[in-house]
Amino acid sequence: MAFRITGRCVGCGTCRNRCPWEAISGVKKERHLVDPTLCQECATCWYVCPKCAVEDPEGYVRAKGGRPRAPKARIDVGACVGCQNCLLNCEHGAIRYRDGLIAGYCNVEASSCIGCGSCLACCATHCIELGQEERE
């Protein structure tokens, strides 16, 4: 089930411009549409829509208030085995390999991550999740 753009959409194009899968189409000042055959459910559109006009697959919309942000990938380095599948599949160069004391592991450069989720699908140990960036 794909994300869906509701009638709140004002056609600003933010979701279309940020969708890493090019699953959103539309023209300026008109309601945009999500192509369910292209949508990978990464939730980027849901997080970045300034009008909270995107429903997730369960029908929830993001609450208004605060600045919307795209999700970021996070790797549980304790569970990472350093296979580098995520690094090889990240088209945005957001994942780096690090040498550890016993074995290497991967981690995410949050400033480069766009939250597309391509790393989740190829992770051998399922130690990657998408979520909001933690503030220090």
| Mean pLDDT score, 115-129 | 87
Domain coordinates in residue numbering, the chain = 1-70, 72-131
CATH of domain 72-131: 3.30.70.20
Question: How far apart, in Å, are the Cα atoms of 67 and each of 47, 49, 52, 64, 134?
Answer: 9, 10, 11, 9, 15
* Residue 127, pLDDT score: 94
pTM: 0.57
Residues with Cβ within 8 Å of 25's Cβ and at least 6 positions away in sequence, in order, are 16, 32, 33, 35
Cα-only R_g, the chain:
16
Confidence of residue 84 (pLDDT cuts 50, 70, 90): very high
Domains 1-70 and 72-131 share a fold: yes
| 86-102 confidence digits (pLDDT tens) | 999 998 899 999 987 77
What totals of helices (H) and strands (E) does the chain contain, helices first?
A: 4, 8
CATH architecture of structural domain 1-70? 2-Layer Sandwich (3.30)
